Each structure stands twice: as structure tokens, then as C-alpha cells.
Amino acid sequence: MRLKFISSLFVALICLGTGAFGQIQAGRAIQISVSGVPSEEKGRIDAIYPVSESGMINVPFIGQVRAEGLRAEQLAQVLEQRFRAAEIYTSPTFQVIDSSAKSIEEKVVTIGGQVRKTGPVPFNRGLTLYQAIQNAGGPTEFGSMHRVKLYRAGKQTEYDLTKAEAMNILLESDDTIEVPQKNAFGR
């Protein structure tokens, strides 16, 4: 308990030094880190997130979260509540630092075809082909995971994401993914 208090105090001091107690603004960037979660999942969440013009950030596992107008510590509380409510983590601790940069160029991969939410998905180092599709809401009932196309640097590669080895294909920033419609055989 004492260690948690000391680490919270340390984070608060860092936030004071960077002006993070002001309100988060659209078009800016915030840094989010989490503790109290498995290390392999920590790497998926710890990142710098751009705040969209609509005031939202896109957080892995829980999707869109309103950030604009909140102070850093308020957003940290919202994130903790959302992860607990979704029963993803039981005791996460989030730290949010408002970046001093006016804006940030978001690295993305683009997902199209038969997924629930087409368009750009934030790219983080270690993002796999399967994770990106899941971040887009997963395939629709018409989407085929047997013939997913990955476009990179002008080349197209097709993967069968029903096989475990294909699920771990690492993505690069600016990749494009297409989930095709199922054929007459349901593939």
C-alpha cells in the first residue's frame, strides 16, 4: 500500500512538472502507461495516443474513450473504471501525462472489407494482424478469416487467420488489411 502511495505521488510530481493537470485538448497527444497487468499486455497499452479532433482516443481492448476536457488524473480514473467494468483487468493502475507537443502524427494501419469498423487503427509496436482485425471489431458474419489480405509496400500477401501461425504476423505502420467476403463454401 505504501509503495502504491509513493508511486502515485511520484507520478503526480511528474504531471505537475509537465502541466498535465490542465485539461486535455483535441489535436494534442497524451502518454498512457499502465501497471498491474500482464507484461505482454502492458506493451500493447503503454504508448503515446493522439487525441482526435472529436476529443477521443482509441485504447486497445476498450476502444474509443473521451479524453478532451478531462484532466490527466480524471482520464486515468476513467480508464481504470472501463477496464474493470469490462472485466479485462482486476487492478490496473493508469498514468496519463499530457504531452507538451501541440499535435502528433498518428501511426496507423488501415483495415477494410468485412470488419465491424473499417478505417485506420492505431499502430503500436508488436501489433499483430489478428489483433488489428480485433481492434476493428472483428470480422462481420460475412467476413472470411481464411483469406485475409495484407498489403505492404505495394505487395499483397494472403493469410489464413484460422491457423495459429498466421495470427502472429507482425504489422508495420501504414500496412493495409482487407477481410474479404466469404465465398460460396463459407471460406
Per-residue pLDDT of the chain (187 residues; tens, 9 = 90+): 554 544 454 444 444 444 444 788 888 888 898 988 887 778 788 888 888 888 999 888 888 999 999 999 999 999 999 999 988 888 899 999 886 444 455 688 989 999 999 888 888 889 999 999 999 999 999 999 999 999 998 899 999 999 999 999 999 988 999 999 998 887 8
Burial of 61 (0-12, 13-18, 19+ CB in 10 A): middle
pTM of the complete model:
0.46
CATH (domain of 28)? 3.30.1950.10
Do residue 63 and residue 86 come from a single domain? yes
Compute the distance between CA of residue 25 and CA of residue 106 in angstroms, rounded to an integer.
16
The answer on 93 and 28 residing in a single domain is yes
Among 51, 67, 98, give the residue marking a domain's end: 98
Beta strand extents in 1-123 (DSSP E only): 29-35, 47-50, 56-59, 63-66, 93-98, 108-113, 119-122
DSSP 123: -
Residue pair 71/23 in contact (Cβ under 8 Å)? The answer is: yes
Residues near 102 by beta carbon (within 8 Å), at least 6 away in sequence: 27, 28
50, 67, 98 - which closes a domain: 98
86 falls within a domain: yes
135 and 71, same domain (yes or no): no
Asked if residue 91 and residue 9 are part of one domain, the reply reads: yes
Residues 131 and 45 in one domain: no
Residue 88 pairs with which residues in a beta bridge? none
Say yes or no: 139 and 84 in one domain: no
Q: Could you list the residue range(s) of the whole structural domain that residue 123 is in?
A: 108-179
